[in-house]
Amino acid sequence: MPDPVVWFNPSCSKCRTAQGILTDHGIDATYLDYLHQPPAVEELRRVLEMLGATDPRAIARTGEPLWRELQLDGATGDEIIAALAAPPGLIERPIG
C-alpha cells in the first residue's frame, strides 16, 4: 500500500504536530506542501468524498479574512471548491 499523503504547510504548528504524531506511530507519509502544489478541483472533490463530507466548508478555513473578502458565506459548493483551489490558503490543514 502506498504511503498516505498529507496536505501540509511546514509553517503550520498543527501540521508539524500531526507529522510528529504520525512519525511517533511509525507511519510513513508523503507530505504535500499544498501552498506550493495546490490541489486541483477534482482532487478536492476526491478528498471530500474520502472524508464522507458533502459540504466543502468541512475543509475550509471559514474564519480567514480572505473567506469574507471573497464573500463565500452564501456561496455554492462549486464556488467554494473553486476558491479552495486558488489560492489554496483557505484549505484547512492538515488533511491526510
Show the cell assigned to 34.
499544498
User: If you ran DSSP here, which 8-state letter would residue 62 be given?
Assistant: T
Beta strands in the chain (DSSP E): 5-8, 30-33
Cβ 56 vs Cβ 76: under 8 Å: no
Q: What angle (nearest 5°) sits at the alpha carbon of residue 65, between those of residues 13 and 70?
A: 125
Residues forming the active site: 12
Show the cell assigned to 90.
483557505
